[in-house]
Amino acid sequence: MDQLDALVSIALDMTAAESAGDRSRRLLEALRRVIPYDAAALLRLERDALVPLVASGLSPPALGRRYLLREHPRLEIICRSREPVLFPADTALPDPFDGLLLGDPEAKQRIHACLGCPLHVHGELLGALTADARDPRAFAGIDLRFMTAVAALAAAEMRTTQLIAALERTAERQGLVARDLMRDALVQHGSQIIGTSPAMARLRREIDLVARSDFTVLIRGETGVGKELVAHAVHAASERSGQALIYVNCAALPETLAEAELFGHVRGAFTGASADRPGKFEVADGGTLLLDEIGELPLGVQPKLLRALQEGEIQRVGADRTLSVDVRLLAATNRNLEDEVKAGRFRADLFHRLDVFPLYVPPLRERPEDIALLAGYFCDLARRRLGLGPVRLAADALEILAGYAWPGNVRELENVISRVVLKASAAVPRGQPVIVSSAGLAPELARAVPVALQEPAAVVPPLPGGEATMRDAVRDYQRALVRQALARSGGNWAAASRALGMDRGNFHHLARRLGLKGPRAT
C-alpha cells in the first residue's frame, strides 16, 4: 500500500460507525502497512503526562503507565514540536518504550528507530502518535509530510472522540437530573393515589391492569380530581417507566400553532420558524405522551392525531416526509366527549380511537370517606413546604371538611388546607404544633362562593350560639346563598348554578344535601 492509499484508508476508517478505540486501532494497522514499525502508540495528553489510548507491538505493562513528560525527554521533545520528529538512531536520549516491546521476555532490548508526531487541533496539543523499530534504518525513507497528514487525521479523530464523550457525559448527567427532578416533583405534588374508598380501590385495580398493556387510555373526571396523577401512575407502572412522560395541555395550544407543537416543524414552514423543531410526539418517542384537556384540541388537528395513533407516523409542518414514532398516548378530559361528538366539535373516529380503555376518576363527593385521609396528607405536605412543626386537624375541622361539597374536588381541598395551615402557623412559635380548627376553615370555605353573590350582612345567618356548631353555621350560610341565587334567577336551577360558579351536577347535589331539593326540601 502506498502512502496516498494509506491516507484514504485512514480517512475512511475515521468515519466508520465503530467505537473510538476500534477506529484508533485501525489507524495503527493502516500505518503499519506503510511504516515498518515494531511498536506504535496513540497517546492522549493529560496535564503533564501522556496516557496510552491504543498501542500495537507493546507489552501490556506499557499500556498501564502514565508517561510524565519531564521523565521522558523524547516525548517532551515531540510535544513541544510543531511537526513530526525523527530521532537519530545514535541519540543518547532514552526511549520511553525500551524493554517494553512484545517478544522481549527479558525486557532488555533497546529501540533504535523512533518517530513521533504531535497531535494539534487549532493550536491545542491533544496528544502524540509514536512509532518505534528495532532496525535503526526502519524509518529512513519516510516522507514526513505523509506523517503530518496522518497526525492531522489522528488529532481530528481524538478531538471528535473527546467532544462525543463530553456530550454523552452531559446527556447522562442531564438525564439523571431530569429523573431526579421528576422524582422530586412527584414527591412534592404527591406520587400516590390517596384514598381507601371502594371507588379508589377500583381505580387502582384498573390502573394496574391497563398499565401493563400499551393501550391508549382516556382518563375522565371533573376538574381537580387528579387526572394527571392517574396518568403518572399508569406511566410509572408501565414498561415505559424508564422513558419520559411528556405533558401537553391542549387547552393552552393556540389553534394556529397546535399542529407544530404536537408534530414539529421545519425551518421556514411559517413566520417565526427560524429552525427545525421537533414536536411533542418526537420528544416522547419511546415513552408516553399525556394530552390533557383533549376535548379542547382544535378540530383541524384531530385528523393528524388520529393518523399518529393509527399508523405511528407524524409529519412536521412544512416537511415532505413522514417520521415513525413509538409513543403510548394517554388523554385526559373533564368534558363529555360523546356530547362533543354530537355537537360536531370532536371527531367520532378519534373519540373511539382514544376510548380504548377509559378510566373514570371519581369526584370527592363520591368518596367522602377519603376526605379526612387527604386532608391529613395535605397538612403534612404543607408542614414540609413551610418548615413547620406538627400540623394537626381538630375534630370540629374534620366535621366541616366532611360537610362541604368540594366543587373543586381534591385540588380545592389542597388549596384550602394550604391556606389554613399558613394562616394558623402565623400565631404559633416556630416548631410548635399547628392546629387547624373549624374557626379557621369556615371563612376559607365561604370564600369559595363569588363575593359579589354573597348575601348582605343583614340576611346572613347569625353565628351559632349555645349548642350550635360551626358546621351548622356553614350549612345555614350555604342555604341562604342557594336560596338567593334561585330567587335572582327566577327559580332556574341552571342559571343559579352558573351564578354561583358551580357545576350543575354539584349544585343539585349540594341542594339535596342542604334539604332544598327533593323530598326533604324546605
- Please report the pLDDT score of residue 453 as a whole number: 34
- Residue listed under C-alpha cell 378530559: 333
> What is the CATH code of the structural domain delimited by 190-362?
3.40.50.300
Q: 262-285 burial by CB neighbour count: b if 16+ within 10 A, else e?
A: bbbbbeebeeebeeebebbbbebb
Residues of the chain with CATH 3.40.50.300: 190-362
Is the predicted pLDDT of residue 384 greater than 80, yes or no?
yes
CATH 1.10.8.60 residue ranges for the chain: 365-448
62-76 pLDDT, tens digit per residue, is 888 889 999 999 999
Looking at the chain, which residues constitute the CATH 1.10.10 domain(s)? 460-522
Write down the architecture of domain 460-522 according to CATH: Orthogonal Bundle (1.10)
- Mean pLDDT of the region 486-499: 75
Cβ neighbourhood burial of 168 (10 Å; 0-12, 13-18, 19+):
exposed
Quickly count: other Cβ atoms within 10 Å of residue 466's Cβ: 4
Which residue is listed with cell 528495532? 134
pTM tops 0.85, yes or no:
no
Ranked by mean pLDDT, the top range of 173-177, 191-195, 242-246, 358-362 is 358-362
Question: Quick check: 18 pLDDT over 80?
Answer: no
Among residues 270, 268, 267, 266, the alpha carbon closest in space to that of 254 is found at 270
pLDDT tens-digit map of 79-118: 999 999 999 988 889 889 888 888 765 545 677 889 999 9
List, by residue range, all CATH 3.30.450.40 domains of the chain: 3-164
pLDDT, position 345: 93
Domain at 365-448: CATH architecture: Orthogonal Bundle (1.10)
Residue-wise over 80-103: b if at least 16 C-beta within 10 A, else e? eeeebbbbebeeeeebbbeebbee
Torsion angle, alpha carbons of 70, 74, 79, 83, to 10: 160
- Report the pLDDT value the prediction gives residue 463, as an integer from 0 to 100: 47
Query: Residues 6 or more apart from 473 whose CB is under 8 A from it?
Result: 442, 461, 463, 464
Tell me the CATH number of domain 3-164, given options 1.20.1260.10, 3.30.830.10, 3.40.50.2300, 3.30.450.40.
3.30.450.40
| Mean pLDDT, the chain, integer | 83
